[in-house]
Amino acid sequence: MEDTGPHGPDDAAAEANRRPAPWRRFIARAFDLWIGGTIFWFGLTTVFYAISLEMGDAFAAQASTLPFRLLDGVINLMVMAPIQAAMIGAWGYSPGKWLCGITVRNRQGQSIGWGRAFRRELGVWTRGYGLGLPVVSLYCLFRSYSRLEEDGITPWDEAQDLVVEHGSLEGPRILGPMLCIATVVGGILWTVSARFQPMAAGY
């Protein structure tokens, strides 16, 4: 008879799904931030242009300055925190996590609710991304990566007593992470080319 007890195949599969997958989680988060940030900034720019052409032009000019670009990551993380919390709290995943086969639930396998998910997002924002501040963010990401690899859990998941599972990426499921990577890399290349175009036109 097949063993389905505490050390059976079901438990082995669950244990395998809970193994750390820092790069998959990073890709999922990067996809969410990119898509969410693009929608937010496009919507905000549209609002300013709807008010007046001059206001839209002034906002677009301000958005191209170095201080604004440095704060872009901070604003993106701040705006996305409650939105991410709503999705993860209700469904256990965001669009990026769904594409990458990642779920966040409590130890009973249930949805965690907005409040708990928001506290988790605050942990990601502060301890995982260092508020999105340049240099600080890289340091925090490296520390979070090391912690996840060593302990198998991030500080924000441990603080909320949450379980993060990573589903199999066999067969067509591998297309989800590939789509996330292609979207983020393509978006970065498009942004860089768009910002350097005005500089090239000046020569």
Tens place of pLDDT per residue across the chain (203 aa) = 444 445 555 565 566 677 889 999 999 999 999 999 999 999 999 999 999 999 999 998 888 888 888 888 899 999 999 999 999 999 999 999 999 999 999 999 999 999 999 999 999 999 999 999 989 999 999 999 999 999 999 999 999 999 999 998 989 999 999 999 999 999 888 877 766 655 455 55
The parent domain of residue 65 ranges over 19-184
Report yes or no on 190 lying in a domain. no
Is residue 99 within 8 Å of 169, Cβ to Cβ? no
Report yes or no on 43 lying in a domain. yes
pLDDT of residue 119: 97
Per-residue DSSP letters for 39-107?
HHHHHHHHHHHHH-HHHHHHHHHHHTSHHHHHHHHHHHHHHHHHHHHHHHHHHS--HHHHHTTEEEEET
Report yes or no on 1 lying in a domain. no
Tally of structural domains, the chain: 1
Query: Rounded CA gap, 191 and 47, in Å?
Result: 21
Residues in the chain, overall count? 203
pLDDT of residue 198: 52
Report yes or no on 203 lying in a domain. no
Report yes or no on 189 lying in a domain. no
